[in-house]
Amino acid sequence: MIPSVHYQDLGLVEYAPTWEYQTSCHQQLVQRKRSAAGDPIRDQPAPHKFIVCEHPHVYTLGKSGHPDHLLLDDDALAGVGATYVKINRGGDITYHGPGQIVGYPILDLEDFYRDVHRYVRELEEVMIRVIRSYGLIGIRLEGYTGVWLAPDDHHPLFRKICAIGVHLSRWVTLHGFAFNVNTDLKYFDHIVPCGIHDENKAVTSLSNELGRDLDMEEVKALVREQFAEVFQCSLTMTNPA
């Protein structure tokens, strides 16, 4: 029996309440695992969730990140209409904003497989397949997470199109990916994205690569389709609690 995952689209929502909602869903799955064997709750399907949304302009710093990778002080942050939050995912600093699909899979990996590295690789695979639908070839770079585009005749740099940062507790996942679709890339100028100083690497978006804005609902539909295929699960559309 394949796992069933509840898909929820929160729309444009502030970062803090979304983090609280993620945490609540995560704790629900963890509590289920702590139940004694034979408890009726253990005989029910796990409430896996795949949450997507967009956020207003916000910079988030992972637990292993460096605060000095944010290049703005408080006044400058207010000036660009952004906020700053320290969180418990892996990785360094990144940006979330309108036009970016942020995905938060809250999964008990023991219903899928017990392999953190495979989980990250499969999140990357979802995005690689999605951008392939638009004629782009996504790659992985050794030593870096996320999905990249290689240099070509028109672009001399490696470009990151999707960032990934996750956290696990008792094999239950938290946080996820940030996929640049119609993202305003100027906001990345105010940080050292993911802590990467390499001048050979930059950030890009689907619209930047294709020279046109994308229909966000169309892209989300592709994300859903590829997520279900890669993770070998069924997705059920549900309304947020």
pLDDT tens track for 121-167: 999 999 999 999 999 999 999 988 999 999 988 889 999 999 998 99
For 88-232, where are the alpha helices, taking DSSP H only? 116-132, 206-210, 216-230
Q: What ranges do the domains of the chain cover?
A: 4-233
How far is 199 from 131, CA to CA, in rounded Å?
24
133: left (phi over 0), alpha (psi -120 to 50) or beta: alpha
Contact 61, 83 (CB under 8 A): no
CA angle 29, 4, 223 (to 5 degrees): 105
| Four-way CATH pick for 4-233: 3.30.930.10, 1.20.1250.20, 3.40.50.300, 3.40.50.150 | 3.30.930.10
Active site residues: 194
Q: What is the pTM of this model?
A: 0.92
pLDDT of residue 40: 46
pLDDT of residue 76: 92
How far is 125 from 111, CA to CA, in rounded Å?
19
Contact 166, 119 (CB under 8 A): yes
The residues of the chain scoring below 70 in pLDDT are 35-44, 194-198, 240-241
